[in-house]
Amino acid sequence: MWTEGSIRVRNSTFHYWVKHYEEPSEDFGIDGGRISKLMLKRNGKTVYNYDRGLDVKPTDEDTEIALAILIKEYN
């Protein structure tokens, strides 16, 4: 299932796309969880991307906070 939305952290607004499942995946999920794909963009630039593996690491603290919130909600 895909979920799309926006999240605000301090002065940053992130647009996100998350592909998550009902059951976790040790092979493809973030930390063995339910999220297999997650992209965060800020101002049109990809600041984090996970597509069955880490492609783009979080670029700063605000991105890390947004990522932690989404992982808590969907993973």
pLDDT tens sequence across 23-39 = 999 989 999 999 999 99
What does the pLDDT look like over 58-74, one tens digit per residue?
999 999 999 999 999 99
Rounded to two decimals, the pTM is 0.92
Q: Please tell me the total count of domains within the chain.
A: 1
Q: Looking at this protein, which amino acid is placed at residue 47?
A: V
Enclosing domain of residue 30: 2-74
CA separation for the pair 70, 75 (Å, rounded): 8
Locate 31 and state its tokens: 């930390």
Q: Which residues contact 46 (CB under 8 A, 6 or more apart)?
A: 39, 40, 56
